[in-house]
Amino acid sequence: MPAITSLGVGSGLDIGGLVDQLVAAEVQPASSRLDRREANLQAELSAFGTLKSALAGVQDQLKGLSTIGAARTTSSSNTDLIAASATANAVPGSYDIEVGQLAQAHALASRSYGALTDVVGTGTLDFQFGTTDYEAATDSYNGFIPNPARSPQTLIIDETNNTLEGVRDAINTARMGVNAVIVNDGSGYRLLLSAEDSGAANSLQITVSGDAGSGLADLAFDASATAM
């Protein structure tokens, strides 16, 4: 019996092609598994890269936190009224400030006059704002420190405004930061002057010049005279 030396000889079948297909069919599942495994590994590597980048960002933030004990910051809901600062050892917190006593505005009262139309005098009234060192009990005027934020104001009193009510109206019309009213306290009419702004640095100093004995000096309140 002769030996078969070639697959498919005489049968008409493509035995070689069939073998290749069988081999490919056997290899395909393994190849697909390897492809899927490679895709999964690539995805994991990408995820690790994203995680590494995120951790690097967190480390940068933590570097700033490592020095948080070296500084403290403060804030105020109204910096015009109160400000604050903190040392490195300050305990973090939120605080409410309660005002126990409000600053008052400086007020001065003149001597008593018999009528609103009484002549006060003529001359110049110089108003200045600042801190006054004055002891009412002993009538001791110990000093005055001008407020650099407030400009001095000058008011000329002449025959057109030299009555008690004339001086009142002239002061109010000038809008210099001083309110003037006239009150009758039972003994007569008094001119009351008050600073519009409260606080020790806004007290009044009133200097009279050019009086020549007319009586305007009765409205002085400074180191030379405390008639008010």
- Tell me if 169 sits within 8 A of 182, measured CB to CB: no
Q: Do residue 136 and residue 209 come from a single domain?
A: yes
Please tell me whether residues 111 and 214 are part of one structural domain.
Answer: yes
Count CB atoms within 10 A of the CB of residue 75. Answer: 8
Q: Is residue 72 part of a domain?
A: no
Question: Is 122 inside any structural domain?
Answer: yes
Q: Is residue 95 part of a domain?
A: no
Q: Per the domain annotation, does 146 fall within a domain?
A: yes
Number of domains into which the chain is organized: 2
pLDDT of 4: 47
Residues 113 and 212 reside in one and the same domain: yes
Do both 124 and 199 map to the same domain?
Answer: yes
Q: Do 144 and 198 share a domain, yes or no?
A: yes
Q: How far apart are the first and last CA of the chain?
A: 151
Domain that holds residue 134: 107-219
Q: What is the pLDDT of residue 52?
A: 81
Q: Is residue 111 located within the same domain as residue 202?
A: yes
Distance CA 200, CA 101 (A): 14
Same domain for 117 and 215?
Answer: yes
Q: Per-residue pLDDT tens, the chain, 228 aa: give them.
A: 455 455 555 556 666 676 677 666 666 666 677 777 777 778 777 777 787 887 787 777 776 665 555 567 888 888 877 888 888 788 888 888 887 777 789 999 999 999 999 999 999 999 999 999 999 999 999 999 999 999 999 999 999 999 999 999 999 999 999 999 999 999 999 999 999 999 899 999 999 999 989 999 999 999 999 999
151 and 52 inside one domain = no
Same domain as 210, residue 113: yes
Task: With respect to residue 24, please indicate whether it lies within any of the assigned structural domains.
Answer: yes
Between CA 103 and CA 182 the distance in angstroms is 23
Asked whether residue 62 is domain-assigned, the answer is yes
Do 38 and 130 fall within a single domain? no
- The answer to whether residue 102 is domain-embedded is no
**Quick check: is 78 in a domain?**
no
Q: Which of 202, 203, 206 is nearest to 191 (CA)?
A: 206
Calpha distance 217→69 (Å, rounded): 62
Residues 130 and 215 in one domain: yes
Q: Are residues 131 and 63 in the same domain?
A: no
